[in-house]
Amino acid sequence: MANLRTIIKHGAVYGAEIEDIAIVDGRIAERAKSITPNEGDIVINAEGLVVAPAFVDVHVHLREPGYGYKERIATGTMAAARGGYSTVCPMPNLNPVPDCVENLKVQQDIIERDAKIEVLPYAAITIGRKGEELVDVASLHDKVCAFSDDGSGVQVDGMMERAMKEAVKYDSLIAAHCEVEELLKGGYIHDGEYAREHGHKGICSESEWAQVKRDIELAEKIGCRYHVCHISTKETVQLVREAKARGVKVTCETGPHYLIFTDMDLEEDARWKMNPPIRSAEDRAALIEGIKDGTIDMIATDHAPHSVEEKSRGLKDSAMGIVGLETAFAALHTHLVKRGIISLEHLIKVMSINPRKVFRIEGGIEVGERADIVLLDTNKEWRVDSNNFYSMGKITMFDGREMTGDVVMTLHRGEIVYDNKTK
């Protein structure tokens, strides 16, 4: 008996016309104008929908182990599936910190038990993310997607240099949260007009771009693959653009909120508090230009759930971070694609194609690839209601906003992990 297939019919396939796709044993077996189902085949009607490679988020916080009251791997990966993601990469600000094989295994055991999609963890760059002692890269490099001390920048130049020299031996990626701590000076939102008008302490742009500049110089000297996390300033965009032109192995990401809002959209509410902060209109314009010209390789949410209590202390005293997995596509489609700033194809490129290339992650819609697929309804109009989130985190500035475009179904390894067709 022939292997039973899953057949996606009549969808507008990314990069092609209306096509059918047949999936066998978790991989794309065939693409054709029309594929006739056999008895027993699962048939998914994608008429009126866009069929694309499922999204990849290289920057999420799933909070386990150590902080399961904020989010769990089970809830975070279900939120990701609802957002159209088949792969997420969780950052290492956990307890225990994944800074050795034993600590990493604590996280991997939970992933194996609870994850709804593929989860590829980071290892820390330094022991305990304290910036004082380098992890054993040799023992970790083949078990993680990259190395990062996310949540804090590596402050000592020599430590980052040693990290890159070790990483290059194994062709590993260093992903940096860039932040010069001595420049923060107690700031918690962008050092701009809103901060001045409302008496808040600001975070200057230099605290980000100065460390990016240092790291690019190191990466250029050493030949290391270097990825800048959640860039937010116009200066950072230009530094990356110039480095790429010189052939430096540098890539970067930004988040949806930096492309949509400016500091003048802020309110006295912790929904607007994250790190780095939402910056000026000039910065947003530079980020959008960076997306358009390819300087910015990908969009990642920095999904950072906290408890309601941790986010109820106002703009000044609340924890940094918002959730983003369940709204990213809709928000970006509404604000960038519908307004003609970028094409749908380009949005899919920065949410799926590019992160897969940079982080060497399987999956797609070509014959032979692992069947990681998202079905998108680009015309659906809906209102964000955080009460309906799968994530335990409910804090987002998109709550109550009208969106156009949504995820209908997500498949990972050919299996349906999220299905909104019946809702």
How many structural domains is the chain composed of? 2
Residue 399, SS3? coil
Query: pLDDT digit string (tens) for 278-306?
Result: 999 999 999 999 999 999 999 999 999 99
pLDDT at 189: 96
Residue 274 Cα to chain centre, angstroms: 15
216: domain CATH number?
A: 3.20.20.140
Is residue 42 in some structural domain?
yes
Query: pLDDT digit string (tens) for 214-268?
Result: 999 999 999 999 999 999 999 999 999 999 999 999 999 999 999 999 999 999 9
Based on the domain organization, do 284 and 178 belong to the same domain?
yes
> Of 307, 337, 359, which residue sits at a domain end?
359
Based on the domain organization, do 290 and 384 belong to the same domain?
no
Cα 99 to Cα 91, 113, 144, 145, 280: the distances in Å are 12, 21, 11, 13, 36
Based on the domain organization, do 283 and 411 belong to the same domain?
no
> Of 338, 359, 380, which residue sits at a domain end?
359
Question: Where residue 75 falls among pLDDT bands split at 50, 70, 90?
Answer: very high
Is residue 260 in some structural domain?
yes
Copy the structure tokens of residue 76: 């975070």
pLDDT at 1: 44
Is residue 347 in some structural domain?
yes
Based on the domain organization, do 20 and 95 belong to the same domain?
no
**Mean pLDDT value across residues 351-363:** 98
Q: Which residues contact 354 (CB under 8 A, 6 or more apart)?
A: 297, 298
pLDDT at 151: 85
pLDDT at 232: 98
| Mean pLDDT over each residue of the chain, to the nearest integer | 97
pLDDT at 15: 80
Please say if the pLDDT value at position 423 is more than 70.
no
**Mean pLDDT value across residues 157-182:** 97
pLDDT at 2: 58
Based on the domain organization, do 242 and 112 belong to the same domain?
yes
Query: pLDDT digit string (tens) for 365-375?
Result: 999 999 999 99
| DSSP H or E segment with residue 79 | helix 73-82
Is residue 408 in some structural domain?
yes
Measured distance CA(125)–CA(268) in Å, rounded = 35
Based on the domain organization, do 30 and 88 belong to the same domain?
no
Is residue 364 in some structural domain?
no
Based on the domain organization, do 407 and 314 belong to the same domain?
no
Question: Where residue 422 falls among pLDDT bands split at 50, 70, 90?
Answer: very low
Question: Where residue 57 falls among pLDDT bands split at 50, 70, 90?
Answer: very high
Segments forming the whole domain that contains residue 212: 55-359
Based on the domain organization, do 47 and 139 belong to the same domain?
no
Based on the domain organization, do 40 and 66 belong to the same domain?
no
Based on the domain organization, do 377 and 277 belong to the same domain?
no
Measured distance CA(322)–CA(330) in Å, rounded = 16
Is residue 1 in some structural domain?
no
- The whole-model pTM stands at 0.97
388: domain CATH number?
A: 2.30.40.10
Query: pLDDT digit string (tens) for 403-417?
Result: 999 999 999 999 999
Based on the domain organization, do 61 and 40 belong to the same domain?
no
> Of 359, 384, 410, which residue sits at a domain end?
359
Measured distance CA(419)–CA(356) in Å, rounded = 23
Is residue 31 in some structural domain?
yes
**Mean pLDDT value across residues 198-207:** 97
Please say if the pLDDT value at position 133 is more than 90.
yes
Please say if the pLDDT value at position 181 is more than 90.
yes
Catalytic residues: 302
Measured distance CA(218)–CA(233) in Å, rounded = 20
Based on the domain organization, do 30 and 109 belong to the same domain?
no
Share of the chain above pLDDT 70, in %: 99
DSSP string, 331-395: HHIIIIITTTSS-HHHHHIIIIIHHHHHHT---BSSTTSBB-EEEEEEEEEEE--GGG-SSS---
Question: Where residue 308 falls among pLDDT bands split at 50, 70, 90?
Answer: very high
Q: Which residues contact 42 (CB under 8 A, 6 or more apart)?
A: 4, 5, 6, 7
**Mean pLDDT value across residues 200-226:** 98
